[in-house]
Amino acid sequence: MAVLASVTLLVLDYRGSRLNSFRSLLAFAVYPLQSLASLPVDTYQALTGTVISYVELQKENKRLKDVQLINDARLLKLAALEKENIRLRLLLENSFQLGEQVLIAELLSVKLEPYEHTVVVNKGSRFGVHPKQPVLDANGVVGQVIRVLPNSSEVMLITDPDHAIPVEVNRNGLRTIAFGTGQPNRLHLPFLANNADVAPGDLLVTSGLGGGFPAGYPVAVVDKFEARPDKSFANIYATPKAQLDASREFLIVWSDTNPVVIDQHAQTPQQQFSLQPPPQSPVSQPIDKKQGKHAGQ
Amino acid sequence: MPDNSRLTVVYFIATISAAMVLRVMLLWPELAPFNPDWIALALIYWSMAFPERFGVFTAWTVGLLTDVLTGRLLGQYALIYALIAYFSIKEHRRLRQFPVIQQCLFVFFCLLVSQSIIFGTEIMKAGNRLTLEFWYPVLTGTLVWPGVFWVLRNIRIMARIA
C-alpha cells in the first residue's frame, strides 16, 4: 500500500503543481532541521566576523570606501549612458526594460543531494519569490530559483549538469548556450562551430533570449577553446564569474514586467530596492507606462 | 509499560532528526559527495530493533519528510524507505543474529537498491549526466554502518528501552 501511495505521489508531483501546498505544509516541519544543519557554519562565520582585529577592520573599511568611490563615479557615467541609450532606443522605436528589482537572500549551508549543484537560500514565497527567477551575486549570474517553499527556496546553480543558460560573447554578440558540467568551476559551450570567433578571455554575458535571465549580466569567462576538426562543433569551456562556492549572499531578481505581490508583514520597503532607478526625464515617458508597475513597488 | 513506549518514540524522533540534520549538513565541501544516507541507516536500525513498533508506514512518513527536506519529487524517498523498512522488518530475526560483516552486506544491498531507484527517478526527471560520484554514498553508507549501529545501540541501552 505504501508503495502504491508513493508511486501515486511521484506521478502527481511529476505531472503538475497540485501538491505544492502539501509540500509547503511539510516544509514547516523540516525547516528547523535545515536551519539546525546550517547552524555550525553560520556560527563559525559569525565568530570569525566578531573576533576580527581592529586593524583589519580599518583596512577593510578603507578598501570598501575606495570601492564605493569608484562605483559612485561609474554610476554617474552610467546614468548619462542610460539616458542616451533610452533616447537612441526611442529613435529606433524599440522597447527597453530598466529598473530590475532585487532582494538579498542569504545562503543556508546545506547540501541537498551530493550529486546536484543546488543551494538553499533563506527567502521563500513569503517574500514573493517565485520559480524561474534569476539569482545573481556581486560578480555574475549564480543560477535560478527552481522551487519555492514558504521560508526558503532552492536555487539551481549554473554549473548543475541539468542547467543551461543562453549567453552571448560580450565582444561581438555571438549567441550560444552554456551548459553546466557538474564540476564547480566549469561551463561547457557545445554549440559553437570550429571557426567561431571566440578566444580564451572573452566575457560571456546573458543574452536575454528565452526570457528567463535579464540581458547583459556577466556569466563566465572563456578559458579553453578546443577546435575539433573531425566534428562540426568545437569544445569550449568557461569559468563562471560568480563565486559559486564562496558567496554567502545572493540577489534574487525580478525582471519580468508583472508586479509582484508581497505580504506587507514579511517585506519592509527598505529591504527591496531598485538596482537602477527608472529614469525621470520627459523623454522616457512612453516607457514609464510599462515600467510604472515596477517603479511602484 | 506505556511510559517506556513513549520514551522509545521520543528517542526515535530525536535520532531520525539528527540523521536528517547530518544528511543535509555541509561542514567540509570536499566530503560532500561521500555523505551517506544517514536516515536510511537509522531507519534500518530502528526497524530491526523494534519491528513491532515502527512499521512500514512510519518509514513512509519519514521518507515524505526527507523528500521535502532534500527537494526531491514527493514520494521518492517515501517509496525507498518503505521498501527498506519492509525488508528490515521481514529479516529482523536473522539480522539480529548476523555478525557485523553480514549486516554490512545487507545494508549495502539496501542502499544499492535505494540509489538505483533514485537513479530511475532522476532519469525520468531529465537526462541527468550522472557520474561515478553518484554511487559513492552506497559505499560510505556501508562503511559507517558499524558506527551507526554501535551508537544507536548504546543510546538504546542507556535509555533502557527494549
Flag whether A34 is in a domain: yes
Closest by Cβ to B133, choosing from A40, A115, A118: A115
Residues A149 and A269 in one domain: yes
A275, three cell numbers: 538596482
Dihedral sign computed on CA atoms, order A132, A85, A139, A108: negative
The pLDDT of residue A46 is 81
In a domain, A239, yes or no: yes
Could you tell me the maximum CA-CA distance found in chain A, to the nearest angstrom?
67
A91 in a structural domain: no
Tell me, what's the pLDDT at A25? 80
CATH of the domain at A192: 2.40.10.350
In DSSP notation, chain B reads: -HHHHHHHHHHHHHHHHHHHHHHHB-S-GGGGGG---HHHHHHHHHHHH-TTTS-HHHHHHHHHHHHHHHT--TTHHHHHHHHHHHHHHHTHHHHHHS-HHHHHHHHHHHHHHHHHHHHHHHHHHS-----GGGGHHHHHHHHHHHHHHHHHHHHHHHTT--
Q: Is A200 part of any domain?
A: yes
Whether residue A266 is found in the same domain as residue A143: yes
Q: Is A137 in the same domain as A195?
A: yes
Kindly give, in sequence order, each residue whose CB lies less than 8 Å from that of residue A257, ignoring residues fewer than 6 positions away: A97, A290, A291, A293, A294
Q: SS3 for A165?
A: strand
A159 and A244 share a domain?
yes
Buried b (16+ CB within 10 A) or exposed e, B81-98: bbbbbbbbbeebeebeee
| Per-residue DSSP letter, A123 | -
Mean predicted confidence (pLDDT) in B59-77 = 85
Written as nine digits, the cell of B84 is 527498506
Cell numbers 518509514 correspond to B59
From B61, B8, B40, B33, select the one nearest B137 (Cα to Cα): B33
B58: CB partners within 8 A, 6+ apart: B12, B85
C-alpha cell at A175: 549567441
pLDDT at res. A271: 41
Report pLDDT digits (tens) over A54-104.
888 899 899 999 999 999 988 888 888 888 887 887 777 655 555 677 888
> Does residue A208 form part of some domain?
yes
Q: Nearest Cβ partner of A162 from B17, B73, B126?
A: B126
**Environment class of residue B100 by beta-carbon count within 10 Å: exposed (0-12), middle (13-18) or buried (19+)?**
exposed
Spatial separation of the C-alpha atoms in residues B13 and A110, rounded to whole Å = 21
**Pair (A192, A269) in one structural domain:** yes
Q: Are A207 and A283 in a shared domain?
A: yes
Residue contact B133–A22, C-beta within 8 A: no
As a whole number of angstroms, the distance between CA A240 and CA A159 comes to 8
- A220 phi and psi, to 5 degrees? -160, 170
Q: Considering only the beta carbons, identify the residue of A3, A112, A114 that sits closest to B71.
A: A112
Same domain? For A130 and A242 the reply is yes
* Whether residue A220 sits in one domain with residue A144: yes
Nearest to A190 by CA among A156, A161, A153: A161
pLDDT, greater one: B3 or B88: B88
Model confidence band, residue A259 (pLDDT cutoffs 50, 70, 90): very low
Task: State the pLDDT at residue B162.
Answer: 60
pLDDT, chain B, mean:
84
pLDDT of A38 over the 50 cut: yes
Let me know whether A103 and A44 are in one domain.
no
Residue A69 belongs to a domain: no
Determine the pLDDT at residue A269.
Answer: 40
My answer on whether A137 and A257 are in the same domain is: yes
The answer to whether residue B20 scores a pLDDT higher than 80 is yes
The predicted model gives A193-220 an average pLDDT of: 86
Tens of pLDDT along B80-132?
A: 898 899 888 888 888 888 888 888 999 999 999 988 888 887 777 665 566 77
Is A207 domain-assigned? yes
pLDDT score, position A221: 93
Residue in A closest to B20 by C-alpha? A33
Say whether both A234 and A135 belong to one domain.
Answer: yes
Count other Cβ atoms within 10 Å, centred on residue A204: 29
Cα–Cα distance for residue pair A148/B137, rounded to 1 Å: 27
Question: Would residue A75 count as lying in a domain?
Answer: no
Which tens digits make up the pLDDT trace of A209-244?
Answer: 887 888 888 899 999 888 888 888 888 999 999 888
Q: What is the mean pLDDT of residues B13-27?
A: 85
Cα–Cα dist B126/B119, whole Å: 11
Spatial separation of the C-alpha atoms in residues A207 and A216, rounded to whole Å: 6
- Higher per-residue confidence, A175 vs A34: A175
Q: Determine the residue of chain B that is closest to A183 in CA distance.
A: B131
- A182·B131 Cβ contact <8 A: yes
Residues in chain A with CB shorter than 8 Å from the CB of B121 are 10
- Residues of chain A in contact with residue B130, where contact means CB-CB under 8 angstroms, are 115, 161
Distance from CA of B31 to the nearest CA of A (A): 9
Number of domains in chain A: 2
Would you state the torsion angle of the CA atoms of residues B45, B49, B52, B54, taken in this order, to the nearest 10 degrees? -30
- CB-based contact A27 B76, cutoff 8 Å: no
Contact B35 A161 (CB under 8 A): no
Rounded CA gap, B19 and B25, in Å?
10
Quote the domain boundaries for residue A14.
2-50
Alpha carbon distance B61, B13 (integer Å): 12
